[in-house]
Structure 1
């Protein structure tokens, strides 16, 4: 890449990328309040203690949390026309993003309300306040403060996830970058600009969402046999997904553990470099990171398969999140433990190995399992850059059979069966460590 011409290149193509960014902002601006409103509605039954609605909400949350957003988006975009609902790609994209993140937001809101102590309710009742008045005047203001930071983080994730609408034809920032690449061939320069624009956007938010065909469609709606017939093919894709996820999770965890451990005891320069690494990879959508990896290596004459490019990109992406989890776990080790180790004359390396790391490892297990869950679902994005796995296999089957509902529902079930045990394990570790620590 000729950096001397990068300024001219940026000036030439920034207006087109800016138009794509406006679409991204519009999608996020529609999806964010919709997700928040749905999240509030989902929270009400859980807080009120209504059994049946609460069970339905929990089922909804688990399904949304344990299936990839891209597959949910495909299900809406390709499946709704089969039942006579013809919505545009923007509507389907906004709805998919909103429904996915509403599940996460409802859990954040519920946990914030639950974090307000029971004594607050008792004090309100003691002075004669009604239940709704206690909730509105005492509980809600405190819960709002507690959930402000995690809700802001979730909204930033929502903005990054809007990059997935490019997979169904929405000319957002990501797809605008791909269009420019097809014309100019300057893949590296384009995605540098795309990544920078996403980084600016997330930083601002963080500082401040025919008759034969008809017959085929009718048959696809009525019959589940098409899913059973293609299940072996989908399971082959699931095996590839598991292999891809295994490599990414193991390598990303090792990378994050090493970087997080070294940075905790390193000098200011090393900590600054690690902070910059975490900031950049956490502020850019994983799909853009995949595109950068997929197009950057050929730009430097390195020919890699789609799988290799995706794995390398995702390893660095997952590694950034694990780094932060490890650093936080090390920082959470009580200073008294370290002082006691020093008083016994332990050397720095011995103290780290014998005292700090065993405790930090226990504290970081649950966050790393949640990160692994995220990484498994994000492997579905690899299909966008041409890597054949479960989501790619599902699209191939849908193109042959037009049975979008059956196939994508089946794919969601497969992803759920993969992810749900890990989700249960993460929840168990959180409960276990919260009592044992």
Structure 2
């Protein structure tokens, strides 16, 4: 039984089993039926059956196997009703007979279906098919691999359930129209598709880490789900240092979640966070996974941007206090990252690092090279400019930059922080009254790294 369930909580057991095993269910059923829409319907039928039966009959000894067996039986029933697909009936009945037909007789889900872990990886590749848009890939990954409901996905991306349902439905129809198969791509296509899978997981994490819009600064449900997907992908591809790098990055950044809001709900930026509140288990896990990736890299296996970003996050994680951070090391890592994956977001964070390592003017010099148009009106650039100007003592310019950033963001929590910093710089720029002590610069930074 999945961790966290009890014998007196049938509904909780159903949800836990579904969240843990839905990807395996849908992947195995897709391989058997060659129809992702039908596979999801069969898995959903099994979920509904569990919700109806477990409160009456009790939680089975092996909830995951029960779901798989029930889904297969529903598949047999479906194909029996379709005369033109009798061959499918024989395949599914053979699979059911091989499993013994009773959920209690199946000791382990991994023994139920050949190559079941490969099915999950195949399902990840399928949900990130190049025929789909990035937004559809993210939604379909959360649906098929993450096991989230349409309503949960819609809440995470601040859209209506109907709109998200249409997006997911269109994605499935697109896969059907291009005859997408649940097959493992090979060679260059596999590398490209693996990059797509990681990009979708990272997109989901970032949307949860700092929400694009809305009243909440963070959406921990999305960061937790992205981290779970990254762990799953690392289990399925343990010899890929970039996959390990992605997991390490998400573990290390996600560890800060408890410290990113003050008790009154105010967002806390990186340098102001109480590091004793960072999740120590996630920090240890992230550092351990990063070490494993480093060992692979030492054998000559190429690494990339996720490994480099995880290495930057590790520098923050090992510093007990903000002032202990090795900013020169972080600046050097950003220099390497900018060469490996040049882009405006990397350069903005590189400016932060250089500003901390070598002074505010050095950071502003890096920032001056950033193509603002490429950021599409994001508040990132003016907020970092405001931070560096503040550190340089140029308070009037800092106030203007923070005000510009506040007007650009659609996230209420972020807007609150930016407006407060604009007000603080306005106050710092006022001439001192007689007898006043010299005003000090204000700390804080963008929550980068």
Q: Same fold (TM over 0.5)?
A: no
Q: Give the alignment's TM-score, normalised by structure 1.
A: 0.27
Greater relative contact order (Cα 8 A, min sep 6): structure 1 or 2? 1
Larger relative helix fraction: 1
Q: Give the alignment's TM-score, normalised by structure 2.
A: 0.26
**Which protein has the larger Cα radius of gyration, Structure 1 or Structure 2?**
2
